[in-house]
């Protein structure tokens, strides 16, 4: 499995190079959104996408944490204003495809529920996901406010996979 993770990270960096201000974040945490409208004594934090989240110092704040294998962002000058582009989850071929699909969908939905602290707008209008299962890939697209679209399982060398990744890069240069 480590070779798969390493290979995936190399692939991501080749499509999303740091020289163009992309950042591949391994094991990045998705903290649930927390909007504090009721108690000024509770301190909130901002995550790296400029959404309010419960600070780690509050007991139990880590319970609903989600941790995908990789998140790809377009980095900005600010520490809390990354532009979220895509999530990647890697599974071995002996794991349930339904469970794996459900897990990545839950990660996408967790981001869809968040909004920027300063504008209350969604973090993004469209979000992409990639599920790597053994030697196959399933691609996900979520238009915020809509349904998640998926492809069937594709070969990792499929032109569809290359086009999917290239389009995300090109759109965000």
**Cα-Cα-Cα-Cα dihedral of 137, 103, 106, 56, to 10°?**
-120
Average pLDDT over residues 66-95: 87
The separation between the first and the last C-alpha atoms of the chain, rounded to the nearest angstrom, is 31
Ordered by where they begin, the domains of the chain are: 2-30+65-171 (3.90.1570)
Is the predicted pLDDT of residue 129 greater than 60, yes or no? yes
Is the predicted pLDDT of residue 85 greater than 80, yes or no? yes
pLDDT computed for residue 105 by the predictor = 93
**Of 19, 68, 21, 77, nearest in space to 48 by CA:** 77
**What pTM was computed for the model?**
0.83
Q: What is the three-class DSSP state of 20?
A: helix
The torsion region of residue 60 among left (phi > 0), alpha (psi -120 to 50) and beta comes to left
Q: How many whole angstroms separate alpha carbon 70 and alpha carbon 89?
A: 7
Average pLDDT over residues 150-154: 93
């Amino acid at each position: 499995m480590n070779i798969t993770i390493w290979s995936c990270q190399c692939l991501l960096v080749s499509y999303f190079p740091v020289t163009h201000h992309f950042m591949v974040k391994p094991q990045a945490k998705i903290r649930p959104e927390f909007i504090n409208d009721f108690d000024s004594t509770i301190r909130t934090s901002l995550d790296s996408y400029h959404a309010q989240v419960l600070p780690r110092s509050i007991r139990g704040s880590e319970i609903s944490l989600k941790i995908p294998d990789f998140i790809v962002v377009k980095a900005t000058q600010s520490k809390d204003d990354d532009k979220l582009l895509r999530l990647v989850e890697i599974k071995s071929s002996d794991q349930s495809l339904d469970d794996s699909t459900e897990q990545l969908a839950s990660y996408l939905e967790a981001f869809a529920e968040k909004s920027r602290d300063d504008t209350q707008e969604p973090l993004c209008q469209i979000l992409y996901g990639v599920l790597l299962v053994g030697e196959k890939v399933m691609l996900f697209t979520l238009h915020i406010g809509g349904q998640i679209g998926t492809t069937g399982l594709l070969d990792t060398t499929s032109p569809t996979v290359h086009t999917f990744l290239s389009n995300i890069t090109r759109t965000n240069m």
